[in-house]
Chains A and B, each alone.
Chain A
Amino acid sequence: MLDQADGYMTADGRQIGPVVMEMKNITLRFGGVEAIKNISFDIREGEVRAIIGPNGAGKSSMLNVISGFYVPQDGQVLYKGVQRPQMRPYQVAQQGIARTFQNIALFEGMSVLDNVMTGRLTHMKTGMFSQALWKGRAEKEETANREVAERIIDFLEIQAIRKTPVARLPYGLKKRVELARALAAEPSLLLLDEPMAGMNVEEKEDMSRFILSMNDEFGTTIALIEHDMGVVMDLSDRVVVMDYGKKIGDGTPDEVRNNQAVIDAYLGVAHDE
Chain B
Amino acid sequence: MFYREAGDFSTSYPEDSQTFPIRFDRYRYYLVLFVAIFVIPFTINDYWVNSIFLPFLIYAIAAIGLNILVGYCGQVSLGTGGFMAVGAYACYKLMTSFPEVSMLIHVLIAGLITAGVGVLFGLPSLRIKGFYLAVATLAAQFFLVWLFNRVPWFYNYSASGQISAPERTVFGIEVTGPNTEAWATYLFCLAFVIVSAVIARNLTRGAFGRKWMAIRDMDIAAEIIGVNPLMAKLSAFAVSSFFIGISGALFFAVYLGAVEVGEAFGITKSFTVLFMIIIGGLGSIFGSFAGAAFLVVLPVVLKLVGVDWLGWPTDIVAHLQLVIVGALIVIFLIAEPHGLAQLWRVAKEKLRLWPFPH
Contact = CB atoms under 8 A, between A and B. Distances in A.
B341 to A, nearest CB: 13
Instruction: Report, as a range, how many residues of chain A touch the other chain.
Output: 35 or more
B206 A138 contact: yes
B221 A131 contact: no
A107 B283 contact: no
26 contacts: A67-B224, A89-B223, A89-B224, A90-B226, A93-B224, A98-B225, A101-B221, A101-B224, A106-B218, A107-B214, A107-B221, A108-B218, A109-B213, A121-B210, A128-B203, A128-B239, A131-B202, A131-B203, A134-B206, A138-B206, A139-B14, A142-B13, A142-B17, A142-B207, A143-B12, A185-B225
Interface stretch (B50-58, B161-169, B227-235): B227-235
Contacts of A142: 13-14, 17, 206-207
Interface string B82-99: 000000000000000000
Contacts of B210: 110, 114, 117-118, 121
B220 A105 contact: yes
A98 B225 CA distance: 7
A88 B223 contact: yes
A199 interface: no
Contacts of B225: 90, 93, 98, 118-119, 121-122, 181-182, 185
Given A105-B221, A118-B214, A143 B13 contact: yes
Interface of B: 12-14, 17, 199, 202-203, 206-208, 210-211, 213-214, 216-218, 220-229, 235, 239, 283
B313 to A, nearest CB: 45
A107 B222 CA distance: 8
A126 B224 contact: no
A124 B203 CA distance: 13
Contacts of A181: 225
Interface in A125-183: 126, 128, 131-134, 138-139, 141-143, 146-147, 150, 181-182
Contacts of B221: 101, 105-107
Given A99-B224, A121-B225, A185-B226, A131 B214 contact: no
A119 B216 CA distance: 16
A94 interface: yes
Contacts of A185: 225-226
B208 to A, nearest CB: 6
Given A108-B217, A142-B13, A131 B224 contact: no
Contact of B213 (A110, A134, A138, A150): A110
A177 to B, nearest CB: 12
B219 to A, nearest CB: 10
B326 to A, nearest CB: 27
Contacts of B229: 90
B50 to A, nearest CB: 31
Contacts of B235: 128
Contacts of A114: 210, 213
A121 B211 contact: yes
A122 B206 contact: no
Interface of A: 67, 69, 88-90, 93-94, 98-99, 101, 105-110, 114, 117-119, 121-122, 124, 126, 128, 131-134, 138-139, 141-143, 146-147, 150, 181-182, 185
B226 A105 contact: no
Q: List the 3 closest A-B pairs by CB distance, nearest first.
A: A93-B226, A107-B217, A105-B221
Nearest to B12: A143
B207 A131 contact: yes
- Interface centre among B203, B235, B283, by most A CB within 10 Å? B203
Contact of A146 (B17, B199, B213, B224): B17
A139 to B, nearest CB: 6
A61 to B, nearest CB: 15
B207 A124 contact: yes
Given A98-B224, A106-B217, A143-B17, 5 more contacts: A105-B220, A106-B221, A107-B213, A107-B218, A128-B239
B202 A90 contact: no
A114 to B, nearest CB: 6
A119 B211 CA distance: 10
Nearest to A184: B225
A90 B203 contact: no
Given A106-B221, A143-B13, A132 B202 contact: yes
A107 B211 CA distance: 11
A181 B210 CA distance: 13
A104 to B, nearest CB: 9
A142 B214 CA distance: 17
A133 B226 contact: no
A86 B110 CA distance: 40
- Interface centre among B206, B224, B239, by most A CB within 10 Å? B224
A88 B222 CA distance: 12
A128 B223 contact: no
A45 to B, nearest CB: 21
B226 A94 contact: yes
A69 B220 CA distance: 9
A94 B223 CA distance: 10
